[in-house]
């Protein structure tokens, strides 16, 4: 299973927006271009603009290129706006739902919790971060990780859970109640440019 192991803040600097909602990424001084002086040089061409939008989304969901390309192809096969369907497919990933529910702070932490086998979907162990979660599915945690999850939630006090998720903090469970709409996704990206990039 391939994954990016390098410095994460460098990804935010490369695309010019914070890919994670933590101070390290949201600090203003961090968002200049990579390198000591952050020199960009030239104005980006059309290809570069589309590439940057695609990379933003990839980095935000911590997905490698080959897998992201499959998501784009699947979104193109389904009915509806390809960009909106792409966002819905990415939001329905298990690791993303663990992050959006406020159980962990970042997508990288969510991926680790899932891949270590601490997450249960409808009472059954799930260890693949990319598992698609459907409406009505319930996410819970094994007993041995619950103290860590509670500490994470305390440190994330004030985290806003999206409307398409139903959180039960007492039982450390989250249930998907609807399909996420594009305006319910707290990450600004132009999906039309991403779809154009792959045409």
Q: For the structural domain made of 93-178, what CATH number should be given?
A: 3.10.290.10
> What's the predicted TM-score (pTM) here?
0.88
What's the confidence (pLDDT) of residue 15?
83
Does 1 score more than 60 pLDDT? no
Decide if 114 contacts 95 (C-beta within 8 A).
yes
The arithmetic mean of pLDDT across residues 78-107, rounded, is 92
Class of domain 9-81+189-197 (CATH, top level): mainly alpha
Q: Which alpha helices (H) appear in the chain, and where do they start and end?
A: 9-15, 23-26, 46-61, 65-77, 82-91, 94-100, 107-115, 146-155, 191-197
**Would you kindly state where each structural domain of the chain is located, as residue ranges?**
9-81+189-197, 93-178
Backbone φ and ψ of 141, nearest 5°? -130, 155
Q: How does pLDDT run across 21-70, given as a tens digit for each residue?
A: 777 777 665 566 666 666 566 677 889 889 989 999 999 999 999 999 99
CA–CA separation, 141 vs 109, rounded Å? 14
What's the confidence (pLDDT) of residue 141?
93
CA–CA separation, 146 vs 136, rounded Å? 22
Q: How does pLDDT run across 113-135, given as a tens digit for each residue?
A: 999 999 999 999 999 999 999 99
Split at pLDDT 50, 70, 90, the class of 11 is confident
- Collapse the DSSP code of 196 into the 3-class scheme (helix H, G, I; strand E, B; otherwise coil) and give the result: helix
């Amino acid at each position: 299973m391939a994954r990016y192991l390098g410095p994460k803040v460098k990804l935010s600097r490369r695309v010019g927006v914070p890919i994670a909602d933590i101070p390290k990424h949201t600090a203003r001084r961090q968002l200049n271009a990579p390198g000591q002086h952050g020199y960009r040089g030239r104005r980006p061409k059309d290809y570069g603009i589309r590439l940057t939008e695609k990379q933003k989304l990839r980095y935000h969901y911590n997905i490698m290129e080959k897998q992201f390309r499959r998501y784009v192809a699947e979104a193109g096969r389904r009915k509806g706006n390809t960009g909106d369907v792409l966002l819905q497919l990415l939001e329905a990933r298990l690791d993303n739902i663990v992050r959006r529910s406020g159980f962990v702070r970042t997508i990288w932490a969510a991926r680790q919790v899932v891949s270590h086998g601490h997450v249960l979907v409808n009472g059954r162990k799930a260890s693949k971060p990319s598992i698609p979660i459907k409406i009505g599915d319930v996410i819970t945690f094994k007993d041995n990780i619950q103290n860590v999850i509670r500490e994470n939630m305390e440190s994330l006090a004030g985290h806003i859970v999206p409307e398409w998720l139903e959180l039960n903090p007492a039982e450390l469970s989250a249930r998907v109640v609807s399909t996420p709409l594009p305006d319910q996704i707290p990450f600004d990206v132009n999906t039309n440019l991403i779809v154009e990039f792959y045409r």
